[in-house]
């Protein structure tokens, strides 16, 4: 039978892949993709615990709030990336070495 442990392993794999994406990529949009992977893995954990451990829906409500914050984060992150592209003509993160807009 599929139990809590299966979900936790899948989510751990997603989390470490997300960390890898954030740490290795130079492209800022790719780094944002890695952050989405990490947030999805956290959501998967919350849903699994809500099903198998808690027995109520509080975990799913938390997951909804995480999705809301992820949407806000993606919008702001891409706005910053576009603005950076306009200024330094590149989305490589190692060329973003100035704070002045």
For another protein, the binding residues in 45-64 under the rule CB under 8 A are 47-55, 57-58, 60-61, 63-64
From the CB of 22, what's the least distance to another protein, in Å? 9
From the CB of 98, what's the least distance to another protein, in Å? 14
| φ and ψ at residue 33, rounded to 5 degrees | -60, -40
For the chain, the straight-line distance linking the first and the last C-alpha, in angstroms and rounded, comes to 55
Q: How far is Cα 62 from Cα 27, in angstroms, rounded to an integer?
A: 30
Does 76 help bind another protein (rule: CB under 8 A)?
yes
From the CB of 81, what's the least distance to another protein, in Å? 6
């Amino acid at each position: 039978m599929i139990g809590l442990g299966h979900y936790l392993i899948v989510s751990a794999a997603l989390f470490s892949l997300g960390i890898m994406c954030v740490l290795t990529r130079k492209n800022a949009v790719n780094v944002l993709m890695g952050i989405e992977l990490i947030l999805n893995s956290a959501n998967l954990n919350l849903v699994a615990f809500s099903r198998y451990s808690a027995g109520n829906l509080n975990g799913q409500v938390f997951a909804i709030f995480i999705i809301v914050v992820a949407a806000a984060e993606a919008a702001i992150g891409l706005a910053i990336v576009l603005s950076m592209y306009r200024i330094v003509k590149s989305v490589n993160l190692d060329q973003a070495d100035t704070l002045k807009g």
